[in-house]
Amino acid sequence: MLTGMFSLIGRLQLFAEPLLLWQIAPESITTDFTPMMEIYDKAFKTGDYQYAAAESLVLAVVTGILAFVFYRVTNRNMS
Amino acid sequence: MSTLTRPPKVATDSPVRRSSPRRAGSRGARKGLLFALPFLLGFLATYVVPIGYAFSQSLREKKSSGLGFGPTRVVFTGFSNFASILGDGDFWSSTLRTLLFSAAQITVMLGLALLLALLLDGVAARTVRFFRAALLIPYVVPAVVSTVMWLFLYSPTGSPLLDLAHRAGTDVTFFGGLNTYLSLGNLLTWQGIGFNMILISASLQALPRELYEAARLDGAREWRIAWSVKIPTSPGSWC
């Protein structure tokens, strides 16, 4: 399920859309709405590059694991 | 480089060449590497090196000397950042929120994309071309541009949609509670549906047409063909 896999990976990297929408809805879209926004906030507002770097690596690993699991599950269904 | 200008010899009349296939292989590999070099350099510079740098940074922490008034120093602290991320509620709650939201949004988006792809599969080729191009436009528009466009539509001040709703006598908001997710989901679905529809419709076109004919001979209607033939058999891209 290629489409699902691409979408899943794309969604975990969700960043620009909520960040822009934050301008008109700051009370419902928080600064840690998505993991990428949280990382951005940590790195460039708090200024804690080191923690943000660690967070982004954790996010990459989480995304990798989820993509792997997703691939495994959908491929089992196929055969 | 003089070897390149020489006319190519036919392999059969040069036994020397044939006897050293290993050297020819390594030459081929070197040529291959040369061709891959532009990509490889870019990949290293923009992918591998930054990840390595991020990893080396993630093992450090900023510490201020003295009572917090002195200059800050970056010191090596091993995996302590990762340990605190494991217990970071904000990070995991945002990840979980994104995952739950994605699960719902992707299901809706792919469902709609599949529906559109099946509809496109059933109509004439010229119509297909038009709709495919039309539905792909949101994907071609840069994400930020389309977000700004939706931002104006969603904006509490001056949104034409809100204006219409107001004239109709209803008061809707695009944000707050579940509405936030619906608005964001609508935006993302609008952006992604065309691309996913193309992928699904490509996989539908890869199906052998005989299957449809066989199903039609068995008396299956179009939607029955879609449900029992197209969806279960379309390979790879979606099922």
Domains of chain B: 2-60 (no CATH), 88-205 (1.10.3720.10)
Residue B181: count other Cβ atoms within 10 Å of its Cβ.
16
In this predicted model, what pLDDT tens digit does every residue of B95-143 receive, in sequence order?
999 999 999 999 999 889 888 888 888 776 777 888 888 888 888 888 8
Task: Check whether B180 has a pLDDT greater than 60.
Answer: yes
Spatial CA neighbour of B200 closest among A13, A7, A71: A7
CA of B13 to nearest chain A CA: how many angstroms apart?
50
In this predicted model, what pLDDT tens digit does every residue of B110-120 receive, in sequence order?
889 888 888 88
Q: Is the ipTM of this complex over 0.90?
A: no
Q: Which residue of A has its CA nearest to B152?
A: A24
Q: Choosing among A14, A15, A19, A21, which should be mutated to test the B contact, i.e. which has the most B CBs within 10 A?
A: A21
Do B150 and B189 touch, CB atoms closer than 8 A? Answer: no
pLDDT category of residue B2 using cuts at 50, 70 and 90: very low
Residue B45 structure tokens: 């510079």
Do B81 and B198 touch, CB atoms closer than 8 A? Answer: no
Residue type, B151: L
Q: What is the pTM of this model?
A: 0.77
In this predicted model, what pLDDT tens digit does every residue of B47-69 receive, in sequence order?
999 999 999 999 988 877 666 66
- Rounded to whole angstroms, how far apart are CA atoms B191 and A20? 15
> What is the distance of C-alpha A25 from the center of its chain?
20
B98 → closest Cβ in A12, A51, A58: A12
In this predicted model, what pLDDT tens digit does every residue of B206-235 receive, in sequence order?
777 888 888 888 877 777 777 777 777 665
Task: Check whether B15 has a pLDDT greater than 60.
Answer: no
What pLDDT shows up at residue B70? 67
Lowest mean pLDDT among A24-28, B3-7, B164-168: B3-7
In this predicted model, what pLDDT tens digit does every residue of B149-174 receive, in sequence order?
888 888 888 788 888 888 888 877 78
Give A42 or B206, the one with higher predicted confidence. Answer: A42
Residue B188 structure tokens: 């993302």
